[in-house]
Amino acid sequence: MATLPRSFLTEQEYLEIERAAEFKSEYLDGQMFAMAGASPTHVDLTMNIAGVLRDQLRTKGCKVYNSDMRVRVPRGTLYTYPDLSVACGPRFEAGTLINPVLIVEVLSGTTRDYDRGEKLRRYQTIPSFIEYLLVDQYAVGVERWLKQPDGSWLVRETAGLDGEVVLESIGCRIRLADVYEGVELGAN
């Protein structure tokens, strides 16, 4: 999130404003926040991951969405634009994805704590959500969070260009060499 919030808005007021707006804004507990742009490194990482996932999902009934797809989080109420989201049998309400199984966020210096903390806790309230991938833009590495049958979350870190991550929620594998291909780490 980037700017100071406007005064309290209902979800309906937010959605009406957002539909007419030129720029995307997130909604958190009655407040609307304009979203900041992304760095070239952030964009490159997101595009690489989207390409890898799109190729592997062609025949699986799942679809990958970029940061233009709004996602509704039921707890507290949050409408947000993850870097990537994947839904199998996607469902929408008011043009908003409500059933992602996987969400991918590229970590920046300003979003790192929020993405690992409050945003993750809110994502975990989405009934369909079972896997979270956090991608570092300053070093070759990812964190993978996977919901366990008992409701707890297992986190695994993978680093180095020879690393590979298995995304159980969608039956895909991503090699870090593909994720970081052509990426200049930490560039602005």
pLDDT tens digits for 125-183? 999 999 999 999 999 999 999 999 999 999 999 999 999 999 999 999 999 999 999 99
pLDDT tens digits for range 69-115: 999 998 668 899 999 999 999 999 989 999 999 999 999 888 899 99
Using the predicted structure, report yes or no on whether residue 3 has a pLDDT greater than 80.
Answer: no
Q: Which one of 1-5, 37-41, 46-50 scores highest in mean pLDDT?
A: 46-50
**Averaged pLDDT for residues 2-12:** 69
Higher pLDDT pick, 3 / 40: 40
Sorted by where each begins, the domain ranges of the chain are 1-36, 38-179
- Fold of domain 38-179: tt1808, chain A (3.90.1570)
Q: Where are the beta strands (DSSP E) in the chain?
A: 25-28, 31-34, 62-65, 71-73, 78-80, 84-88, 92-93, 96-97, 102-107, 131-136, 141-147, 153-159, 164-167, 172-175
Using the predicted structure, report yes or no on whether residue 186 has a pLDDT greater than 90.
Answer: no
Task: Give the position of tokens 């994502």.
Answer: 123
pLDDT band at 31 (very low <50, low <70, confident <90, very high): confident
**What is the pLDDT at residue 4?**
52
Determine how β-strand 25-28 pairs with β-strand 71-73.
unpaired
Using the predicted structure, report yes or no on whether residue 29 has a pLDDT greater than 90.
Answer: no
61: alpha, beta or left? (left if phi > 0; alpha if psi -120 to 50): left
